[in-house]
Amino acid sequence: MESRDSFPEDLTKALVASYGRHSRTCNLGNEIIPSRDAIAAIVEDLLELLFPGFHRRQNLNSGNIRYHVGDLLDDLRVRLAEQISRVGQPGRTPSESKDRSMEQALGLLERLPALREVLEADVLAAYEGDPAAHSCQEVVFCYPGLHAVAVYRLAHELLLLGVPVIPRMMTELAHGQTGIDLHPGARIGPGFFIDHGTGVVVGGTCVIGNRVKLYQGVTLGALSFPRDSNGNIIRGRKRHPTLEDDVVVYANATILGGETVVGHHSVIGSSVWLTQSVAPHSMVMMDKPSLRIRGASKGEFDNFSGFYQI
Amino acid sequence: MESRDSFPEDLTKALVASYGRHSRTCNLGNEIIPSRDAIAAIVEDLLELLFPGFHRRQNLNSGNIRYHVGDLLDDLRVRLAEQISRVGQPGRTPSESKDRSMEQALGLLERLPALREVLEADVLAAYEGDPAAHSCQEVVFCYPGLHAVAVYRLAHELLLLGVPVIPRMMTELAHGQTGIDLHPGARIGPGFFIDHGTGVVVGGTCVIGNRVKLYQGVTLGALSFPRDSNGNIIRGRKRHPTLEDDVVVYANATILGGETVVGHHSVIGSSVWLTQSVAPHSMVMMDKPSLRIRGASKGEFDNFSGFYQI
Amino acid sequence: MESRDSFPEDLTKALVASYGRHSRTCNLGNEIIPSRDAIAAIVEDLLELLFPGFHRRQNLNSGNIRYHVGDLLDDLRVRLAEQISRVGQPGRTPSESKDRSMEQALGLLERLPALREVLEADVLAAYEGDPAAHSCQEVVFCYPGLHAVAVYRLAHELLLLGVPVIPRMMTELAHGQTGIDLHPGARIGPGFFIDHGTGVVVGGTCVIGNRVKLYQGVTLGALSFPRDSNGNIIRGRKRHPTLEDDVVVYANATILGGETVVGHHSVIGSSVWLTQSVAPHSMVMMDKPSLRIRGASKGEFDNFSGFYQI
């Protein structure tokens, strides 16, 4: 054990040597990478532009809204371009990179009005689909599912604009906040409602239609990984299922496979495990699960040692 | 694409037009709504009064506790009344609203001693029910399940006092922090223990007795939505199950339906899916699930393409 | 209801009386306990030393890294020793406690180079096991699973050094951030990859080998609690399963029991429920679940009342 006299010199030396030996887990060498805090702040500002008046600025009205929006857009463009420029633009000069980053930042901001159209459909779907919702504003204000979907839509646009890494940072931030894991690569139509949401996983090559509804714990995942002849995973192929319009997937259902298509207007019941396609207008449920139900006295529970899960 | 000269004017105009067209996803027009940050701070202070000395003020003792509590109560009443006044009091004059908000804030604070009684039972249930717990203080200090239950109990009291929106904000805050989704409308008796907790969903019309224990991933949910003749969801009916006293529900079990009653002292096993009532002292388990177990060589795994879930 | 004249005196009196009556849910009496915020900051700093350059200091390079590391180590040792000293050292004088706390803090810091070796294997496992990962840096930067595992490894070291309470605080912090619940008592070999992660629960007496991979919702849990003749839970016995090297456990599988061993190179399929040991090189899958698939017209859905889970 290190004596106090040699602390921290010996340990510093050991750590720095480790950085040299295992450089893949370090970011040294003057490469500035995106700041997670800056991205989080940018996301909050983007959400403010999508849903004005709910959080920071609550005294917005038709008189002051124009100034507030213009000011925020102006500032956001610069901050977003700065973060984008940090992810690297291979093959471009610094000046080209700077231009490209500014272009991409502007590209996302210009999509905001169109995203509001889609998000209104998402909010309405939540309100109409949940007996516990009292108003659309409550959905915007309180619903973690709506928050996760809004962040996903922003991340998806950024991905389409060719920005790497940052879309994933955005959805992982939302994942940490809501327990909902939506990969930015998924394609999801308007009117998308995730209720409760904890544990939902939507894979990056999912295709989801309009007015689709998911409950907590639903996985839309992959079925095996194709590997090349060297045993390395092949990246990029469609691995995740397609859900057509008006599909409902109840809690804890698992749907897998890049070729699995759930036909429109189908209902996938709770805890179903599905790896095959189903026709439109299908109802898919587990066989009524066989339960063993026994009456038992109190003493019997004390000695019972099977099947208690903790 | 917008030229730099016209940015941000054109986009500002487009966004503001969108706010006008889709107003349900905006909060403009001088309506101040509750502040999520203020509610979060109020919840932290309420938790401090329920469990003094664990977080901010750690040098509390019998000498200074009285001043600290008195001071905090005084300040909390004002801040809570302010947030409550923002959710609107239909049919009242501003002065009546102000009085009513103050009344409701006071009402919650006056419930704190009674809530401490209930929460002590909850903490004891956690300590006695978890081999990994070393002390009651550790439960208060570390257990996300206890945090979620404490916030639920505060939210439930506020709901009973007739405050809208804010109870839901409080439980969704705790949901984001713990992955545990307890609707403030549920009725839950003392001695309630949620272990691990991620993925637990308790619906708003659940009735849960005393000394009930839930594990991670348990859903107490609804079975279909009654709709009226126009196809609109009927809000308010009991949709979620009843668990009587001393019930244990193991991980990932799903219990559904407003008429489903789990009799007292029953045990619902892991991954059970239950939509019917069971008598007291029942043990309900899945049939020992049929597993297919195959030995396989390494080469076989590489080519195996069925049933791998990602 | 209390009149405004007597508020807050009567309520303060009632609350303070409650603190006296129910002292197990209070921390009064001059006992300083660890600060959750301070522990969170210490964890962030430890992560910075494990993965330099990703968050706060992004302009680190071979020129300034030595100073930054030395400076941080020096400061961390003091802060960590301070928190450790708060958890109590029964049977020691204050001076002995202070020395012991400093010893334990130093002990953790000295493990950092060795932890980096293990964590590099964890990062590589994530990169090689996930088609969506573009680089090792992206894994360090974005993956909640990696974050949870890194915090677990720090907590586990601290537990081995004999520090109580704080290891659990650390893993519960990470649990709140990621939905992944890894008990600091578990023993987990290098190359450990948790993908998606929400809902994973690894119990405190789990033993996990090298290069093991888990997906979201996997529970490695206990099967019944042994109780002594007085009905009290026996703490400390191995209650959780063993996974040997190179095991893969797919989403939502549940493996239970202190005597359950999953042989090396086995694959446990999605949603499997396993309470028995399996030999090496086994594939364990649910029997292809029986699904009922019905075509149905739209009207039929409206009247269908069975098996919809919300």
Which pLDDT band, with edges at 50, 70 and 90, does A306 fall under?
very low
CA distance A219 to A238: 16
Residue B300, pLDDT score: 45
Closest-CA distance, A31 to chain B, in angstroms, reads 29
Model pLDDT, residue B123: 97
Q: Residue C200 pLDDT more than 70? A: yes
Given this model, what pLDDT does residue C266 score?
Answer: 95
pLDDT for A293 equals 76
How large is the average pLDDT for residues A88-100? 83
In a 3-state reduction of DSSP, which class is residue B12? helix
CB contact under 8 A, B61 and C9: no
Of B69, B138, B178, the CB nearest to C16: B69
Q: Do C52 and A28 touch (CB under 8 A)?
A: yes
Select from C2, C3, C21, C27 the residue whose CB has the most chain B CBs within 10 Å, as the one to mutate to test that interface: C27
Neighboring chain C residues of A282 at a CB cutoff of 8 Å: 293-296
pLDDT confidence tier of residue C4, bands split at 50, 70 and 90: low
Mean pLDDT across the stretch A10-23?
94
Q: Which residues of A49-74 are buried (b: 16+ CB within 10 A; e: fewer)?
A: bbbbbbbeebebeeeebeebbbebbe
Question: Chain A: nearest CA to B70, how far in angstroms?
Answer: 30
Q: Kindly report the average pLDDT of chain B as a whole number.
A: 88
Q: How many CB pairs under 8 A join A and C?
A: 240
Mean pLDDT computed over C277-297: 79
Output helix, strand, coil percentages for chain B, rounded to the nearest 5. 45, 15, 45
Copy the structure tokens of residue A155.
Answer: 């991340």
Please give the Cα distance from B281 to A296 (Å, whole number). Answer: 6
pLDDT of residue C64: 85
CA closest to C257 among chain A residues: A309
Q: Which residues pair with B188 in a beta bridge?
A: B208
Nearest Cα to C4, choosing from B78, B94, B299? B78
Among chain C residues, CA nearest to B139: C25
- The per-residue pLDDT for range C42-100, each reduced to its tens digit, is 999 999 999 998 877 777 787 888 999 999 999 999 999 999 998 877 778 888 889 99
Name subunits touching C (3+ CB pairs < 8 A).
Answer: A, B
Cβ contacts of C61 on chain A, cutoff 8 Å = 28-30
- Euclidean distance between CA atoms C217 and C250, whole angstroms: 9
CA atoms within 13 A on the CB side of A227: 14
A-chain residues within 8 Å CB-CB of C309?
A: 215, 250-252, 269-271
* CA distance to B19, B120, B181, C32, C234, per residue, from B127 (Å): 51, 11, 22, 21, 13
CA dist B113 and C54 (Å) reads 46
Cα B152 off chain centre by: 5
Using the 8-state DSSP alphabet, how is residue A244 labeled?
Answer: -
pLDDT attached to residue C225:
63
Q: Within chain A, where are the H helices? A: 9-21, 36-50, 65-85, 94-110, 112-129, 136-142, 144-160, 166-178, 298-303
Share of chain A above pLDDT 70, in %: 90
pLDDT (tens digit per residue) in C94-153: 888 899 999 999 999 999 999 999 999 999 999 998 888 888 988 998 899 999 999 999
- Facing B15 at nearest CB: one of A69, A196, A203: A69
Q: CB–CB of A24 and C177 under 8 A? A: no
Closest CB to B278: pick one of A70, A231, A293: A293
Q: What pLDDT score was predicted for residue C296?
A: 54
**Beta-carbon separation of A8 and C203 below 8 A:** no
CA nearest A175: which of A209, A204, A152? A152
> Which of C28, C87, C215, C255 to probe the B interface (max B CBs under 10 A)?
C28
pLDDT for the residue numbered B30: 62
pLDDT of B299 strictly over 70: no
Residue A307 has pLDDT above 70, yes or no: no
Using alpha carbons only, give the angle B208, B212, B217 rounded to the nearest 5 degrees.
90
Average confidence (pLDDT) over B288-303: 58
Chain mean position to CA A153:
9
| Contact flag B58-C239 (C-beta cutoff 8 Å) | no
In chain A, what are the helix, strand and coil shares in percent, each to the nearest 5? 45, 15, 45
Cβ–Cβ below 8 Å for C123 and A204:
no
Mutate to test the interface with A, among B3, B19, B25 (most CBs of A within 10 A): B25
Q: With contact defined as beta carbons under 8 Å apart, do A285 and C307 qualify?
A: yes
For testing the chain B interface, which of C25, C198, C218 should be mutated: the one with the most B CBs within 10 Å?
C25
Is it the case that residue C291 has pLDDT exceeding 90?
no
Q: Give me the mean pLDDT over the A278-297 stretch.
A: 78
pLDDT-derived band at C298 (thresholds 50, 70, 90) equals: very low
Tell me what percent of the residues of chain B surpass a pLDDT of 70: 90
- Point out the least confidently predicted range of A204-208, C28-32, C295-299: C295-299
pLDDT higher than 80, residue A288: no
Please report the pLDDT score of residue C56 as a whole number: 72
C173 vs A contacts (CB less than 8 Å):
none
d(CA A189, CA A245): 8
**Which ipTM was obtained for this model?**
0.87
Among A27-36, C173-182, C269-278, whose mean pLDDT is lowest? A27-36
How close, in Å, is residue B49 to chain C by CA atoms?
8
Q: What is the mean pLDDT of chain A?
A: 88
pLDDT > 90 in chain C, percent: 64
Q: How confident is the model at residue B301 (pLDDT cuts 50, 70, 90)?
A: very low
Give C253's contacts in chain A (Cβ within 8 Å): none
Per-residue pLDDT, B62:
79
Least confident range from A184-188, B85-89, C22-26: namely B85-89
* Averaged pLDDT for residues C183-208: 96
Quote the minimal CA–CA distance from A255 to chain C in Å: 11
The rounded distance, in Å, linking the Cα atoms of B280 and B265 is: 6
Our CA-based measurement puts residue B207 at a distance from the nearest CA of chain C, in whole angstroms, of 16
Lowest mean pLDDT among A269-273, C39-43, C159-163: A269-273
What are B114-166's pLDDT values in tens digits?
Answer: 999 999 999 999 999 888 888 898 899 889 999 999 999 999 999 999 999 99
The Cα–Cα gap between B189 and B170 comes to 19
Cβ contact, residue pair B275, C251, below 8 Å? no
**Do B283 and A290 lie within an 8 Å CB cutoff?**
no
Q: Which of A226-240, B292-306, C13-27, C28-42 has the highest mean pLDDT?
A: C13-27
pLDDT band at C289 (very low <50, low <70, confident <90, very high): low
Q: How far is it, in rounded angstroms, from Cα C146 to Cα C140?
A: 7
pLDDT tens digits, residue range A242-265? 999 999 999 989 999 999 999 999
What single letter denotes the amino acid at residue B252? Answer: N
Q: Is the CB of A106 less than 8 angstroms away from the CB of B1? A: yes
What's the mean pLDDT when you consider all of chain C? Answer: 88
In this structure, what token pair is assigned to residue B74? 């005084």
d(CA C170, CA C164): 11
Q: Is C215 exposed, middle or buried (0-12, 13-18, 19+ CB in 10 A)?
A: buried
The pLDDT value recorded for residue A304 is 36
Comparison of pLDDT for A307 and B62, the residue scoring more: B62
Contacts of C254 in chain A (CB under 8 A): 309
User: What pLDDT, on a 0 to 100 scale, did the predictor assign at position C287?
Assistant: 72
The answer on pLDDT for B308 being more than 50 is: no
How many Cβ atoms sit within 10 Å of the Cβ of residue C232? 11
pLDDT(C304) > 50: no
Least confidently predicted of A59-63, A221-225, B293-297, C37-41: B293-297
Enumerate neighbours of A (3 or more CB pairs within 8 A).
Answer: B, C
pLDDT at residue B4 above 80?
no
Q: Which of C103, C142, C297 to mutate to test the interface with A (most CBs of A within 10 A)?
A: C142
Q: What is the mean pLDDT of residues A81-103?
A: 88
- pLDDT, tens only, B168-196: 999 999 999 999 999 999 999 999 999 99
**CB-CB contact of C220 with A301 (8 Å):** no
Pairwise CB contact (< 8 Å): C287 & B286: no
